[in-house]
């Protein structure tokens, strides 16, 4: 898989250098690219000098900022293994997030707020693609992501492990009036349809973000940030 941009390449080198087959960069280097290339060399990763046209082709016209890396495909973690670990207490479940930009932004939120596992369905969902990795600004290299065939079944498994599962919904209880201490799983749905009914029915409670302006909703990544912050505010401060 080709990832592109200074931050995604740098985080790949720092988190999983053995997955990086090579780093390729343009002849005219910015200071940021020079730093990434230096780290690649220090990690023993092969480096190549390519033309801008060659980088454009590798990046599929994505904004590469003069540097790309070829990575072995990122492995999804095993859902059951991660939740079996008692240290795992904060899970984010994404129901129908198909836009890689949104998915990448949510992974950045997950890393920032210490989410230990992000769960996505195996079908009809964005995955760990180059576009999502770029949008995450490298956070995808640090966040555990599991694919499951059935979200409802995964939610029931979490509940058996002692998690309280909250589905984000406009008519839910205010997030600042919910006690999020303990094991928590947040479920976020697509911007258009929200959490699907057959998924929401398995959740313990619905949660909403109080709004005081003229619009009635946030972008899903922004909503993820607000809700994750509230969980962290209550449990880790």
Is residue 164 very low, low, confident or very high in pLDDT (cuts 50, 70, 90)? very high
pLDDT surpasses 70 at 237 = no
In this structure, are strands 67-71 and 20-26 parallel, antiparallel, or unpaired?
antiparallel
**CA–CA dist 162, 182 (Å, integer):** 8
Beta-bridge partners for 22: 46, 70
Cβ-proximal residues to 25 (8 Å cutoff; 6+ apart), any chain: 33, 36, 37, 47, 48, 49, 50, 55, 66, 67, 68
Q: Which of 122, 127, 115, 131 has its CA nearest to residue 186?
A: 115
Please report, for residues 32, 175, 177, 187, the alpha-carbon distance to residue 3 in angstroms, rounded to integers and kept in the order given.
16, 36, 41, 28
Q: Where in the chain is the domain with CATH 3.30.1330.30?
A: 2-71
Model confidence over 67-79: pLDDT tens digits? 999 988 767 899 9
Q: How far apart are the first and last CA of the chain?
A: 38
Length of the chain: 237
Fold observed for domain 2-71:
60s Ribosomal Protein L30; Chain: A; (3.30.1330)
Q: 199, 152 in Cβ contact below 8 A?
A: yes
Q: What is the mean pLDDT of the chain?
A: 90
Token pair 């900022």 is found at: 65
The first and second tokens of residue 61, run together, are 């016209």
Section 133-158 average pLDDT:
91
Q: How would you classify residue 204: left for phi > 0, otherwise alpha for psi between -120 and 50, otherwise beta?
A: alpha
Q: To 10 degrees, what angle do helices 100-112 and 220-235 make? A: 10
Q: What percent of the chain has pLDDT over 90?
A: 58
Q: Where in the chain is the domain with CATH 3.40.1280.10?
A: 79-235
Token pair 């449990």 is found at: 235
Beta-bridge partners for 47: 23
Architecture in CATH for domain 79-235: 3-Layer(aba) Sandwich (3.40)
Is residue 167 very low, low, confident or very high in pLDDT (cuts 50, 70, 90)? very high
pTM: 0.81
Beta-bridge partners for 207: 173
Q: 37, 66 in Cβ contact below 8 A?
A: no
């Amino acid at each position: 898989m080709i990832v592109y941009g200074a931050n995604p390449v740098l985080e790949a080198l720092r988190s999983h250098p053995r997955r990086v087959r090579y780093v390729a960069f343009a002849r005219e280097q910015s200071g940021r690219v020079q730093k990434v290339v230096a780290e690649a060399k220090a990690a023993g990763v092969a480096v190549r000098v390519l033309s801008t046209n060659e980088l454009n082709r590798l990046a599929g016209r994505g904004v590469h900022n003069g540097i790309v890396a070829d990575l072995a495909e990122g492995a999804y973690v095993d859902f059951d293994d991660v939740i079996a670990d008692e240290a795992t207490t904060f899970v984010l479940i994404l129901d129908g997030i198909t836009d890689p930009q949104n998915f990448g932004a949510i992974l950045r939120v997950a890393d920032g707020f210490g989410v230990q596992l992000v769960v996505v369905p195996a079908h009809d969902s964005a995955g760990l693609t180059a576009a999502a990795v770029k949008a995450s600004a490298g956070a995808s290299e640090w966040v555990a992501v599991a694919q499951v065939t059935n979200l409802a079944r995964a939610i029931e498994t979490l509940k058996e492990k002692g998690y309280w599962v909250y589905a984000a919904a406009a008519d839910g209880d205010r997030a600042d009036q919910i006690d999020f201490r303990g094991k928590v799983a947040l479920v976020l749905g697509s911007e258009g349809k929200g959490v699907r009914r057959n998924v929401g029915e398995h959740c313990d409670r619905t949660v909403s973000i109080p709004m005081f302006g003229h619009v009635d909703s946030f972008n899903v990544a922004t909503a993820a940030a607000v809700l994750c912050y509230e969980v962290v505010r209550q449990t880790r401060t």
